Structure 1
Amino acid sequence: MTQARSLSVDDPAADCPISPEALGRIARADSETLTVLVDGIPEATRARLAVYLYGRSHTHELGVRIAATCEGSTLRRAAGLVGNTLYDLSRRPYAPPSYGSHRTQTGRISLGGPRLDSRHG
């Protein structure tokens, strides 16, 4: 019995589990078309694809959306704790990652430097 290799977002050598052509169609698809495209992919492959996409910043949201089409147990088999986290994320409204950014108190940023008081000039 052969065991499928477990994928992880920490594994930079992990290859995409679908063809580049199929990946391109999925990446460009609108919501309705995406549903049709992923319905034709076996669940275990969808789970690996979700992990693969989630691990890349530019396809993070797409990974979460595809994970929503998978059972938690399938995602856990594909990626362990990462799969479990991905399952939880896919069952909530999507919130883009903040990457540690924060806003200033006023929310305003000046690119012009400090203002000079005309009385002191």
Structure 2
Amino acid sequence: MTNTQPLSIDDPAVDCPIPPETVGRLIKADADTASYILDGIPEATRARLAVWLYGRSHTHEIGVRVAATCDGAILRRTAGLVGNALYDASRRPYKAPSHGARPAGSRISLGGSSRRA
């Protein structure tokens, strides 16, 4: 058994566990191609990849899909509570994060009030 440091999505110094070219192919891949790419990656590495992808807003959904290919125990061992949450998220329908979303009908005005005195 290898002795690795637990990962944290808060640590920007953690490097991606697979080559950047493979990440690029995974991001652009359809479901079948993504499955083929992931089949060639060991599960422990997939768990690290899921955490790495999940921690970036533009690859969040892909991280959840990669986590769906991993066992919960491996995700928990890889990333602790984050791995546990990622495992849970990967077992239910994906819902995009709502942070930064505005309610329907809300407007932002940079010109101030439209009423004149």
Structure 2 length-normalised TM: 0.87
CA distance in 2, matches of 1:64, 1:84: 12
Q: 2:50 maps to which residue? A: 50
CA distance in 1, matches of 2:2, 2:35: 30
**Residues 16/97 of structure 1: CA separation in 2 closer, same or farther (3 Å cut):** same
- 1:53-68 correspondence runs (5 A): 53-68=53-68
- Report the Cα offset of residue 38 of structure 1: 0.4
Q: 1:119 maps to which residue? A: none
Alpha-carbon deviations, 1:87-119, whole Å to 9, x = none? 000001101001153315xx2548696478xxx
Q: CA RMSD in A?
A: 2.0
Q: 1:28 maps to which residue? A: 28
Q: In structure 2, list runs of 5 or more residues that go unmatched.
A: none
CA distance in 1, matches of 2:37, 2:107: 43
Structure 1 length-normalised TM: 0.84
CA distance in 1, matches of 2:89, 2:106: 31
- Report the Cα offset of residue 2 of structure 1: 4.6
Runs of 4+ displaced beyond 3 Å:
108-116
- Report the Cα offset of residue 11 of structure 1: 1.1
Percent identity among equivalent residues?
63
- Report the Cα offset of residue 6 of structure 1: 1.3
- Count of residue pairs the alignment pairs up: 114
Tell me the amino acid that sits aligned with residue 16 of structure 2.
Answer: C
